[in-house]
Amino acid sequence: MDTAADLPPVLHPVWDALAAATSRRTAFTLAGLATVSGDGTPQVRSVILRAWDPARGVLAFATDERSTKVRELRAEPRVALVLWDDEAQVQVRLAG
């Protein structure tokens, strides 16, 4: 989808919230990222949304290349991500 106009109307607020989270602190700035450890157990940690490319539907997070999560992602690239806005009672769950 090239623009938010191509989205179903129910997703417009989510698209806007993702854009807002990259320019100021919002409920969607902090997300839970789940990875798989070397022994196959799930690992979840908080990450900060740094960029959002709506044209490609890509979220970006920054982390230290030496971190455990980077090693886990190199070994097993499947992830899950959850964003939660308590005030709006909106949860976004993504997998990739």
Where in the chain are the domains? 4-95
Instruction: Give 17's contacts (C-beta < 8 A, 6+ positions apart).
Output: 26, 27, 28, 85, 88, 90
Query: Mean pLDDT over residues 58-84, rounded?
Result: 92
Q: What is the pLDDT of residues 16-64, one digit of tens each?
A: 888 888 888 998 999 999 999 999 999 999 999 999 888 888 899 888 8
- The sign of the dihedral angle between the CA atoms of 45, 48, 50, 56 is positive
Does the pTM surpass 0.85? The reply is no
Query: Mean pLDDT over residues 61-69, rounded?
Result: 89
Tokens of 48: 């900060």
CA dihedral of residues 96, 58, 44, 38 (deg, nearest 10): 50
Q: Tell me if residue 96 falls in helix, strand or coil.
A: coil
User: Rg of the chain over CA atoms, in angstroms?
Assistant: 14
pLDDT at 60: 92
Q: Which CATH architecture has domain 4-95?
A: Roll (2.30)
pLDDT at 1: 43
